[in-house]
């Protein structure tokens, strides 16, 4: 009997209290907006600072048509809450959105601005003015080699030069003797023709000897130049005659001494590939490993942004200067070379980085489109929305359904729902979403 009476009672109670639905904001993960997550740290606001107005639809329905919310979800905040939460509005702007390629990268030396410095002469290291970590200018001394080979070459040059100086007077004497013999023969036949011919032969021999001496002296001088002696040093050697067997190895470029493989007293020679390594740190390379599916989107000359975690995610601007002709068979990636300035504090070759490269296509080839920050969009009750200020009601914000495209560089193109110039909440939309969720939960209880 009780069961029979209970059923109409339940029906009666249901008819007396019709179901009423409170609007509620669902916290769901949206596949499109990246900022659709709730920050629990902002739940500390009091209910007095935030109010949800669910009865404003009837009063402001006409006012919101075409410019406000397409539903009745609104949040009202105090001036203090807006300032503390950092909520900021701005008008929708049209932007040129260019696709980007993101790839892991590493910082390396600019191999085109490096120098492996060795000694062209065999000898013993006598002095090393340069140390690892020193910054040197072009032609600065790096190390001094005492070379017996250089001393022998200088001695040979002096001997060849002396032979050349001796051969010159012999030519002059032979010429004078020939002139005298010709005069005697032509005027009085006072000398035999055979004697005249002999003196002509002596002159030609003397001239040949002078030419040979000059060639040998020139060859000896060229050898000294090949050993690193400049013209001033050779001229000083010819003037003083003092042999200097110390060879100065100088910096071929300006840069930083990054390696030194020489010690005092060590025997060195041309067989050593490098005694010191210099690197010009004014420009560095960032090698990005771009997947094969995205290589065709990268072009030489494209701009790039490099982020280095070891430098507190500092951002560096660079330019793509080279794309590898073939892929790495193990990783299926193509090394893309980005050139950046090396004067950033703390930037060192070997650091890991992340490269963001602007995709193929010039900016002029892309049309401007209205766009909003990706974090401004929220996922509420199965819809992608942004918050817009309600006209005529200070500190009041309403949701607006929008259709957004794929985000590019943190900006999402607006397909529909917002027009260029309309105000929307650019910062702090997640706080408004959280307060709507709190208000909805309070109504349900």
Q: Is the pLDDT of residue 201 over 80?
A: yes
Strand partners, 356: 102, 305
pLDDT in tens, 288-325: 999 999 898 899 999 999 999 999 888 899 999 999 99
| pTM of the shown model | 0.56
Of 1-10, 411-420, 424-433, the poorest mean pLDDT is in: 1-10
CA distance 377 to 30: 9
List b or e across 16-42, with b for residues whose CB sees 16 or more CB atoms inside 10 angstroms: eeeeeeebbbeeeebebbebbeeeeeb
Q: Is the pLDDT of residue 437 over 80?
A: no
Rg of the chain over all Cα atoms, to the nearest angstrom:
44
The pLDDT, as a whole number, for residue 291 is 94
CA distance 141 to 184: 65
* Residue 358: burial class (beta carbons within 10 Å; 0-12, 13-18, 19+): buried
CA distance 123 to 245: 9
* Dihedral over alpha carbons 371, 373, 378, 384 (to 10 degrees): 20
Average pLDDT, the chain: 81
More confident residue, 391 or 73: 391
pLDDT in tens, 130-157: 999 999 999 999 999 999 999 999 999 9
């Amino acid at each position: 009997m009780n069961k029979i009476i209970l059923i109409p009672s339940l029906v009666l109670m249901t008819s007396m209290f019709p179901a009423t639905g409170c609007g509620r904001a669902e916290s769901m993960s949206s596949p499109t907006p990246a900022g659709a997550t709730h920050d629990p740290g902002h739940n500390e606001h009091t209910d007095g600072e935030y109010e949800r107005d669910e009865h404003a639809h009837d009063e402001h329905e006409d006012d919101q048509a075409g410019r406000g919310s397409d539903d009745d979800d609104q949040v009202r905040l105090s001036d203090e809450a807006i300032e503390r939460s950092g909520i900021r509005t701005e008008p929708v702007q049209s932007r040129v959105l260019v696709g980007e390629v993101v790839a892991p990268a590493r910082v390396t030396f600019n191999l085109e601005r490096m120098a492996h410095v060795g000694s062209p002469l065999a000898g013993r290291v006598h002095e090393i003015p340069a140390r690892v970590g020193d910054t040197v200018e072009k032609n600065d001394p790096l190390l001094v080699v005492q070379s017996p080979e250089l001393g022998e070459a200088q001695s040979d040059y002096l001997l060849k030069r002396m032979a050349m100086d001796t051969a010159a007077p012999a030519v002059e004497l032979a010429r004078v003797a020939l002139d005298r013999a010709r005069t005697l023969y032509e005027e009085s036949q006072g000398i035999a023709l055979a004697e005249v011919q002999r003196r002509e032969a002596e002159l030609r021999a003397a001239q040949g000897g002078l030419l040979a001496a000059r060639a040998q002296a020139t060859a000896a001088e060229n050898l000294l130049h090949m050993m690193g002696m400049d013209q001033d040093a050779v001229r000083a050697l010819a003037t003083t005659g003092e042999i200097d067997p110390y060879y100065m190895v100088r910096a071929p470029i300006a840069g930083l001494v990054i390696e030194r493989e020489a010690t005092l007293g060590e025997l060195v020679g041309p067989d050593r590939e490098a005694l010191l390594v210099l690197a010009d740190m004014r420009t560095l390379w960032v090698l990005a490993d771009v997947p094969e599916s995205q290589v065709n989107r990268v072009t030489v000359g494209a701009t790039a942004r490099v982020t280095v975690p070891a430098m507190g995610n500092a951002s560096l601007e660079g330019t793509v200067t080279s794309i590898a002709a073939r892929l790495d068979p193990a990783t299926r990636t193509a090394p893309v070379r980005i050139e950046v300035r090396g004067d950033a504090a703390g930037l060192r070759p070997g650091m890991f980085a992340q490269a963001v490269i602007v995709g193929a296509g010039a900016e002029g080839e892309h049309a401007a489109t209205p766009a909003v920050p990706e974090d401004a969009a929220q996922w509420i009750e199965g819809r992608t929305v942004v918050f817009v200020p309600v006209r005529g009601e200070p500190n009041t914000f309403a949701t607006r359904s929008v259709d957004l495209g794929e985000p590019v560089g943190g900006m999402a193109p607006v397909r529909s729902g917002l027009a260029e110039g309309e105000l929307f909440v650019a910062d702090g939309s997640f706080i408004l979403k959280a307060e709507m969720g709190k208000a909805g939960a309070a109504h349900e209880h």
